[in-house]
Structure 1
Amino acid sequence: MSISIEQLNPRIAGFNVIDCAIKNRDILYLLAREDYTQHPGWRDGREAPGEGRLAKRLLSLNLKNPDEKKWGIGHLRGLGASVCGVAFAPEEKVVVLDSSSKAWSPTPGSDGFEGPIPSQFEGGVKRGGFSRARSFGGRLFASSTARQLFVRTAPGKWELVGEPMPEPDEYKISFVDFDGFGPENLYAVGDPGDIWHLSGQVWKRMKFPSNWGLSAVCCAEDGNVYVAAGDHVFRGLGDKWEKLKTKAQISLPIKDLVWYDGELWATNDYGVWVLKDEGLVDADVPSGVKVCSGNLATRDGVLLLAGYGGAAYKRDGQWTEIFHDHEVREWFETNRDKVWTPPK
């Protein structure tokens, strides 16, 4: 299937993919951030610009569209560290959310920006930085590093999920990820060894056999919860957990865990793995897919893998490589005058 790389190159050149999401089996999203190291004249050792000064781009790939309409783009400025997710209610659209809870979604007749959650000084809550976005029951949820979970009830409107909880200790970050079997049966994790279960509207802290920072969680179709702690994965439910073997070489904490086609998949910026015979092993994927490690998303029979090295997806048992960063960089070096620029 054509990916229309001639359309993609001008739109993604000079940017790195930092998150991904799936609307349905035909519409995929890549969230990218401006790569300041590719600016003309950049030299190592110079001070990096602040996150809020780096532009973000949301690229949409519609596989059913003709080649000339495969790719859509939203160019965003003024956002901090950002993630993306898809809301299906009260309206169906993709949402980009930054660490301060400022949000953006494509809205005809508007710039699409939505105000952040009111702060403690504005009559709201003492909010941490937003870290992850996922949808359950059609609604979009987002976790905060101040041990909070919010649900988007309308554009620019977020409500705290469950009863308020004690903040994590100073210099600790929780929650960094969450997942669930449904909107009232959720698990959320953070640092160190911090795991909580939401049943209805009541949160309860679970006992966990590790003080490592917990970086990812997956509530799988086999009825188990999988939690990443450093380079290891634990499997369990409630207060009962078992440490699974790690048969692969994993040098960084696992960043994403998803359940796809009867298997647990894991990734970080340097690899992608699956759970086989009670242990994590290197995923049997083409080399051109493996370099796309970094972020995982799954929905509607599609597995999307995307990161600094590029992006690829699996559908109907077949991997399709969307792009590779090294090829885009080569194109960029000789085609800077052809790069897409946002309308003024």
Structure 2
Amino acid sequence: MNKTLNREKWEELFDGFTIVDCVILTEQVFGFVLVEVLDGDSTSATTRFLNISSHQPMEDRFAYAEGNTFSFPNIAMSQSPLEYVAVDTKSNVYSASIERMGEEAAIDQLLDMSTYNGLIGIINKLVRVAGKIYALGDYRKIYRRIGFEQWIELGTEGHGVPPPAYINDEDDSSMEYGFEDMSGFSSDDMYAVGGEGDVWRFDGAKWHQCPVPTNASLKTVCCAGDGVVYITEINGTVWAGRTDTWRRIAGADISPAYAPVDSFWFNDRLYLGGQEGIWTVDAINGRVVRLQEIETDAPNVTNSGRLDISVDGNFLLTAGPYGACIHDGTAWRRLFSAFDYL
């Protein structure tokens, strides 16, 4: 049994909650988003933001804050400054750093998030790209965090993605365009994906639409260490390429309800994380397969799914509803699991 936490700490911090997202700073420092499990109406469920510093003594290694106004939050780790930040679909913000830990003003209280026909935009996902945190919204809106209670919509500095066109005020089809993920080789070479085959590349000055030959809903993008950009469809199918050249490298038939929502390049392999665990590409057969088919020590679905990679790129963290595991480049290691305390 791993000693990241003991039974007492599990019951105090995790019992009655499910893990929905994770973030990693180092091999020994992590953050988790936990949501209370309630019978029936879940709108009043408590969200718990938990920091673990496993190198500290057991009595000092945990810190958390709570709120009951968050709805589907995502968490990301900023490199400069070093801080955890979580944002939910309604733009509510939580952050944790050496100086502070707690809720901030929501993004829509700090700037105009209007999108189409007077509607207020939503946030689909929070990501770290080139060390900075970006909140990805509908209507192709992207917001970069620049400090405590400070965000900027890229369009206000002349670097926004062109908004989708619409036919008339009754036409809501433009609302289908919203980014689900973003990745980058650098701040001057980034890719954002979402909508129905909607892929854009930023060259440091402006965004260019990429002709990926699919109209499927897109969920993830990864600018990988092998110099290739990998994009996944809602069923897990993977496209690979860059700029104007793309090809499908792996088919898949994952249920849309369990579509990959995270993708990272680690240890010369593409990892795709979703609610049913981790997937990867079987290049020989051109299929997306469960990671257990490729790595025999891969964690099961109870302890894996959401993914994050450390700032230095040396560690991959995964968390499922009941536990978490870490890969150090050599092997997987379980940090904790509910089944350790049954």
TM range (shorter): 0.7 to 0.9
Corresponding pairs, count = 315
User: Does structure 1 residue 203 correspond to structure 2 residue 203?
Assistant: no
SS at match of 2:56: coil
Check whether the contact 1:148–1:165 (CA below 8 A) recurs between aligned residues.
no
**Which stretch of the first structure deviates more once superposed, 205-214 or 79-88?**
79-88
Check whether the contact 2:19–2:34 (CA below 8 A) recurs between aligned residues.
yes
Q: What do the CA deviations read for 1:45-69 (whole angstroms, capped 9, x no partner)?
A: x4x232xx22111122212112332
User: Partner residue of 1:41?
Assistant: none
Check whether the contact 2:297–2:331 (CA below 8 A) recurs between aligned residues.
no
- Assess, with a 3 A threshold, how the Cα gap between structure 1 residues 140 and 179 changes in structure 2: closer, same or farther: same
User: Partner residue of 1:147?
Assistant: 140
**Which stretch of the first structure deviates more once superposed, 54-63 or 108-117?**
108-117
User: Partner residue of 2:5?
Assistant: 4
Q: What do the CA deviations read for 1:79-134 (whole angstroms, capped 9, x no partner)?
A: 22211111233x321111111222111368977322223479x7554352112222
Partners of 2:328 and 2:161 lie apart in 1 by 40
**Structure 2: which amino acid aligns with 1:145?**
D
Q: What do the CA deviations read for 1:193-245 (whole angstroms, capped 9, x no partner)?
A: 11111111311111111111001111101000000012211111112111113
- Which of 87, 100, 116 pairs up with 2:106? 116
Partners of 2:123 and 2:42 lie apart in 1 by 21
User: Does structure 1 residue 293 correspond to structure 2 residue 304?
Assistant: yes
- Assess, with a 3 A threshold, how the Cα gap between structure 1 residues 272 and 110 changes in structure 2: closer, same or farther: closer
Q: What do the CA deviations read for 1:284-304 (whole angstroms, capped 9, x no partner)?
A: 243654432321111231111
User: Does structure 1 residue 321 correspond to structure 2 residue 334?
Assistant: yes
**Which stretch of the first structure deviates more once superposed, 58-67 or 274-283?**
274-283
SS at match of 2:279: strand
Check whether the contact 2:121–2:137 (CA below 8 A) recurs between aligned residues.
yes
RMSD: 2.5
SS at match of 1:112: strand
User: Partner residue of 2:321?
Assistant: 308
Question: How much does 1:269 deviate?
Answer: 1.3
Partners of 2:325 and 2:26 lie apart in 1 by 15
SS at match of 1:215: strand
Partners of 1:177 and 1:151 lie apart in 2 by 14
SS at match of 2:12: helix
SS at match of 2:59: helix
User: Partner residue of 2:56?
Assistant: 65
SS at match of 1:244: strand
SS at match of 2:254: coil
- Which of 92, 95, 108 pairs up with 2:82? 92
- Assess, with a 3 A threshold, how the Cα gap between structure 1 residues 118 and 271 changes in structure 2: closer, same or farther: closer
Check whether the contact 2:22–2:306 (CA below 8 A) recurs between aligned residues.
yes
Partners of 2:325 and 2:100 lie apart in 1 by 32
Check whether the contact 2:277–2:320 (CA below 8 A) recurs between aligned residues.
no
User: Does structure 1 residue 267 correspond to structure 2 residue 273?
Assistant: yes
Aligned sequence identity (%): 23
- Which of 239, 254, 257 pairs up with 2:244? 239
**Structure 1: which amino acid aligns with 2:83?**
K
- Assess, with a 3 A threshold, how the Cα gap between structure 1 residues 220 and 310 changes in structure 2: closer, same or farther: same
TM-score (norm 1): 0.83
Partners of 1:261 and 1:108 lie apart in 2 by 30
Q: What do the CA deviations read for 1:139-190 (whole angstroms, capped 9, x no partner)?
A: 2112112211111111111112223521473451510111111122111111
Question: How much does 1:31 deviate?
Answer: 0.9
**Which stretch of the first structure deviates more once superposed, 103-112 or 254-263?**
103-112
Question: How much does 1:250 deviate?
Answer: 3.1
**Structure 2: which amino acid aligns with 1:305?**
T
Unmatched 5+ stretches in structure 1: 38-45, 331-344
Check whether the contact 1:4–1:68 (CA below 8 A) recurs between aligned residues.
no
